[in-house]
Chain A
Amino acid sequence: MNQKALIEIIQEKIDSYEKQVSEVMGQSHSAFEKYKQFYSLLEEDLANITHFSLEEIEDILDATSIPNLDKEEELKKINSILDLLELNQTKGTTFQLTEEQNGYLEKFKEQVKVLENMSKEKMSEQLEGVSDVTHQLKKLRALLGKLEDSKNKEYILEGDLLGEILSSLDEQKQQEMLYDILKYNHSLYTEKMNQKEIKERPRLNIEEVKEIFQNFSYDFMELNSEDQDALLTYGNIQKIPDIFECLERNYLPRFDLKRNGKLLVAILISSDAQIMEDIISFCEEKEISPHFLFMLTPAFIKQEKHVKGENRSLIGRSIDFKNNVDFLEEAGFDISYVLRKCKELLIMSNIELVSSYQKFNLYGFSIPQEEEGQLCSNMFSCFLSNYFDEIADQFIEIHAMGHSYIKEHLSRVSTILSPHDLLFYRLYLAHKKNENIEDVIDCIDYQNLTEENKKELTGTISVACDSKKEFDSAVEKHRGKEEELYNLIFNDEGILKLEQYIDPNDSLRYSFEGIFISKPKVLRIYNILKNEHLDALEDSLFYAVTYNSILNQEEVEKLRHMIGGQ
């Protein structure tokens, strides 16, 4: 669920209601607190009247219903009392107040009490006046609390409240958000059912489990205590022997319990013989060696199954595993090579694997020759990471060689963590100073650049536009799941207009009078905005062009002029 977007909307509503309440209640609440504090001081000791300023004393007298003549008289008397008390405090004198003087202070104290009660009454009246708003606030805060709590176990059922919160969005977005909430509730339901299934099962009898292990020539006590406990708590006594039989029947390698006990326990708890048979027979058909299977435990777990842990992530990949194998084969990969270099690809979400591969092609990267000597594959490392396209964009925009550079240095794309990395700011500076970029990359000297001063030292700015918040939200929602680019994008008027700026030396970037912008980036981001029906907004193309780009004011203005946008 796009919780972030919903949380933002709710927070905005809360802020607005709080402001409303504060405007109404602010003054009366602060008056009440003030008189309460004054009274408390006087109650402690009448001499504490010296803590009050003359202005405060006058205000108190003005606020009470005493005829003007009496007020002036009282003020005079209190002033002289104050003089005496201050002498005692500052000069160490020991003047005693007369009974009459004490009487005046008592009367003053009573006046403060009256004012305290009056302001309290006023506050209650006003509170009643905003009771609807405070009631809504309470509900909103409770809903926000649920959404922000990663361990929340309550369904989101606040239909009316959600209807009100989402009413400011267009119909499509409302439907999408409501659908997201349905999926969230469904996922919670599935988890509760899983948990229920586990809870209803009593803890297994250790002797029974030991016996089962022994029947299959395993020693239960070789497992570490944590794994033993997990199996006894969450295991199913019927499934355990079935799984062991399945392993034996298919001649699968035995587990070293001391070293790989966790893997076996994970399978005994979360899998079952039926899924195992299905996956094993699939692997036999694909000639996947069983040696690899136990390094791919999620493949043996039912799709959409949760595992007890600190998060609610779905780690069951029984269907994704098969789809990933099929997909990679169709794409021309040798599965045994994938298994040797990066078996983890096979247990990724299929949607994300396909998206990574499509992006890889979009950027014109070719599948490198198999290099048996290497421990890893740069290309597969790129597939695993969900940000490689954003890193590639930065190199296209900042490095003089653009796309050609990253084709030759694919590893850089997967080892840089963020498109806002200091390296890119350093390269930007190098470009401005006409330094040799290769020398800069080979021997990075950040020249006092830090996260805090990188924009200042490079003279670059954060690009603003009117609808930035909406655009950012749309991009975040689709991160890692970019839809396949439709032909519609290529026929879009805005995109067609940009064709005149294609860099003659690099077809994967635009050159706006020397400002390089990654074309795949523009297409990707604009495609997202189009899917969200945000492309009609005036600055949508400008946003897509400048997304993540490192630019100074002059460059931004130039782009604004050439593309249009607010």
Chain B
Amino acid sequence: MKFLLEDGFSQDLIQQMKTRYDMAIIYQFSLEEENVRDVIRYFKRIGIERIDLLLLTRIEIFMKDINEVKDAFLRHNIKKIVDEINLDINKIDCV
């Protein structure tokens, strides 16, 4: 999980994730480092602000193949959906 620190997230967030999720899921998350970082980079690029909240509440998104994530967003007007997600994180479920 150290790679999350390198990507600018806090130790506190990592601790919260470990409390919230089953440790086997956290372990799998750490093994999929490359893909997780790709998803984080993509989210940053399209302008999603509360990536930390998504890590805490939708960890499974980060373990989907990056291409699947991109395809899901491409089905929408990206700017519009990102603005909606930034206003209300629950809008991620519209993707």
Q: In A232-262, which residues have CB < 8 Å from any B CB?
A: 259-260, 262
Task: Please tell me which one of the listed residues A262, A266, A317, A374 contacts residue B93 in the complex, with CB atoms under 8 A apart.
Answer: A374
Contact flag A376-B23 (CB < 8 Å), given A263-B32, A295-B63, A384-B59: no
C-alpha gap A224/B22 in the complex (Å): 27
Asked if A381 and B57 make an inter-chain contact with CB atoms under 8 angstroms apart, the answer reads: yes
Inside 8 A of A313's CB, which chain B residues have their CB?
23, 27
C-alpha gap A414/B58 in the complex (Å): 8
Asked if A376 and B27 make an inter-chain contact with CB atoms under 8 angstroms apart, the answer reads: no
Chain B interface secondary structure, helix, strand, loop or mixed?
helix
Asked if A297 and B27 make an inter-chain contact with CB atoms under 8 angstroms apart, the answer reads: yes
Nearest neighbor of B30 in chain A, beta-carbon distance? A262
C-alpha gap A386/B64 in the complex (Å): 21
Asked if A375 and B64 make an inter-chain contact with CB atoms under 8 angstroms apart, the answer reads: yes
C-alpha gap A349/B27 in the complex (Å): 13
Task: Please tell me which one of the listed residues A296, A349, A375 contacts residue B28 in the complex, with CB atoms under 8 A apart.
Answer: A296
Asked if A417 and B92 make an inter-chain contact with CB atoms under 8 angstroms apart, the answer reads: no
- The total of interchain contacts (Cβ-Cβ below 8 angstroms) comes to 103
Nearest neighbor of B2 in chain A, beta-carbon distance? A310
Task: Please tell me which one of the listed residues B28, B56, B93 contacts residue A344 in the complex, with CB atoms under 8 A apart.
Answer: B28
Contact flag A348-B33 (CB < 8 Å), given A297-B28, A374-B95, A376-B58: no
Task: Please tell me which one of the listed residues B20, B24, B68 contacts residue A349 in the complex, with CB atoms under 8 A apart.
Answer: B24
Inside 8 A of B56's CB, which chain A residues have their CB?
417
* Distance of A481 from chain B, by nearest CB (Å): 12
Inside 8 A of B9's CB, which chain A residues have their CB?
none
Contact flag A344-B63 (CB < 8 Å), given A260-B34, A311-B18, A412-B90: yes
Interface residues on A, range: 35 or more
C-alpha gap A307/B27 in the complex (Å): 9
Cβ of B75 under 8 Å from chain A: yes
Asked if B24 and A317 make an inter-chain contact with CB atoms under 8 angstroms apart, the answer reads: yes
Inside 8 A of B35's CB, which chain A residues have their CB?
259
Contact flag A373-B75 (CB < 8 Å), given A259-B35, A349-B22: yes
Asked if B24 and A409 make an inter-chain contact with CB atoms under 8 angstroms apart, the answer reads: no
Task: Please tell me which one of the listed residues B32, B34, B57 contacts residue A295 in the complex, with CB atoms under 8 A apart.
Answer: B32
Q: In A302-356, which residues have CB < 8 Å from any B CB?
A: 307, 309, 311, 313-315, 317, 320, 341-344, 347-349, 352
Asked if A375 and B59 make an inter-chain contact with CB atoms under 8 angstroms apart, the answer reads: no
Per-position 1/0 for A254-276, Cβ under 8 A of B = 00000110110010000000000
Cβ of B61 under 8 Å from chain A: yes
Seen from chain B, the residues whose Cβ lies within 8 Å of a Cβ on chain A are 16, 18, 20-25, 27-28, 30-35, 53, 56-61, 63-64, 68-69, 72, 75, 88-90, 92-95
Q: In the complex, given contacts A344-B59, A349-B24, A374-B94, what are 9 additional A-B residue pairs having Cβ atoms less than 8 angstroms apart? A: A260-B34, A295-B32, A313-B27, A317-B24, A375-B72, A375-B92, A386-B20, A412-B90, A415-B89
Complex A-B: 22 CB contacts under 8 Å:
A259-B34, A262-B30, A262-B32, A262-B34, A298-B27, A315-B24, A343-B60, A344-B28, A344-B60, A344-B63, A347-B25, A348-B22, A374-B93, A375-B68, A380-B60, A384-B60, A385-B20, A386-B20, A387-B20, A411-B93, A414-B58, A442-B88
